[in-house]
Amino acid sequence: MIEKVLVANRGEIAVRIIKACQEMGIRTVAIYSDVDADSPHVHAADESYPLGDPTPSESYLNIPKILAIAKECGAEAIHPGYGFLSERAEFAKACADAGIKFIGPSADVIDKMGDKIQAKKTMANAGVPVIPGFTGYEGSGETLEQACQRIGFPVLIKAAAGGGGKGMRIVDSMDQLADAEESAKREAKSAFGNDELLLEKYLEKPRHIEFQILADEKGNVIHLFERECSIQRRHQKVIEETPSVALDDDLRQRMGDAAVQAAKTIGYTNAGTVEFMLDHDRNFYFLEMNTRLQVEHAITEMTTHVDIVKWQLRIASGEELAISQDDVSQNGHAIECRIYAEDPEQGFIPSTGKLHMVDVPDGVNIRHDTGVKQGVEVTPYYDPMLAKLIVYAENRPDAIKKMQWALSNYITLGVTTNVPFLREIIEHGAFRGGDIDTHFIDSHFKDWIMSEDPPVEVLIAAAIDDLGRTAVATHDGGDEGHDDAHSPWKTMGAWRIDS
């Protein structure tokens, strides 16, 4: 068993991983940038080492710095969490080259799954359903235009190196094709440094259903059932739940088998997620494979009672999966809400500042995975997700009721959060009726405004925030904070955790 793990991450996932390690008697090492020196993950770990400059490239993305600390502290393994370096094949390789166990799949598998064209081809060859499309590598001599005629409009142009919607263009007719291809190439080049594209049949309002995979290094692979992740805003997940109301046992079995088949085909090891699109005719198609632990893994843990992070550590230590597919059962219903430091009243602009107070609900089957505490400074350097609020109940209506209660008792002062927005979603008839697809937020919350007077704590927080901003404005001679180097608009960029 690995004896010391360096957690190459911050926030709630770093705390989550540290706790799992400590329960297993594994010593933990935290790394932190200057602005994170007083963060909960630093206090939770057995040892901690500074990274210095808070910008991601100088801290949590800085491979030489992180490996140097790993060597200095004698960590045998590194857990990357999600986001940051978790899906960088070069980091996994650098760990291997340094004789340090990367807690995740091999660099080769990360590389393969990062290329959407190669991933789709691998899955199609394995008999996993893929979305009808065109890559230019078919060897059929078919042109892009001919492919569009074969597939039928609307079609979707995607970046092969992409994800999260960047470089995506919907094309409704042949006369739009050339311009769409050109602009998609430009965006893909600037976002990913790779302008390779692929074309797919555009699925209208699909569901995003993903299956959790656990695979050991002896070839054993199981799934831990599905997660419904369709409620996204700008390709950023907001609310996830399990099970999905769209799946019956037959469809669940077929998708689970496809997910396991996909993982086996590529020689996957450790925890991973196979993403599918489910269309209105209940056809499912492979979308992509995420080669990391995901934010929403917690809802799977609540309904299967499997500690995914502990199994990551056991698998990385060379243990065989001691649970078979028949050992895993799905019970009850779990919902996760992602708590973002964003102001839904101002176009979800990131909200930064001192967290003067945070009072979160506690209770039966309520789990709060957080990376913040009272008094920390929420900065614009990193992804604005502060915490995850997860509830479990015997059935979906009770889980919704529990989440409603929990959200209405989630109070933060000093930083504006999306909690009021989450409450509106949970209370919306379409959500309660299970009428969910990837356009849910665009369809029902296009010009979202608070449907009632904001809860009093939001008014207090806004007052404090204004006071704070006034103080800053007065102090800095009227700086609106939008053009300084640390403005959220300057640094947020693409540093969003998983999409």
Interface with ligand MV4 (CB under 6 A): 131, 156, 163-165, 200-203, 206, 208, 232, 235, 277, 287, 438
Q: Which is nearer to ligand MV4, 131 or 328 (CB)?
A: 131
The answer to whether residues 424 and 404 touch, using CB atoms and an 8 Å cutoff, is no
Q: Which is nearer to ligand MV4, 338 or 402 (CB)?
A: 338
Whole-angstrom Cα distance, residue 319 to residue 313?
Answer: 9
DSSP alpha helices (H): ranges in 248-317?
Answer: 249-265, 297-304, 308-316
Residue given tokens 């609900």 in the structure block: 361
**292 flagged as catalytic:** yes
Residue given tokens 């992070």 in the structure block: 309
Whole-angstrom Cα distance, residue 376 to residue 15?
Answer: 15
What letter represents residue 478's amino acid? G
Whole-angstrom Cα distance, residue 259 to residue 226?
Answer: 10
Residue given tokens 């590194």 in the structure block: 78
Q: Which is nearer to ligand MV4, 4 or 428 (CB)?
A: 428
Whole-angstrom Cα distance, residue 71 to residue 280?
Answer: 52
Closest CA to 102 of 12, 11, 217, 221: 217
SS3 333: strand
The answer to whether residues 241 and 333 touch, using CB atoms and an 8 Å cutoff, is yes
H or E element: which one contains 73?
helix 63-73
The answer to whether residues 151 and 132 touch, using CB atoms and an 8 Å cutoff, is yes
Residue 154 Cβ, how far from ligand MV4 at the closest point, in Å? 9
Q: Which position among 10, 292, 338, 423 bears the catalytic label?
A: 292
CA count, 13 A, side-chain hemisphere, 219 = 1
**Catalytic residue ranges:** 292
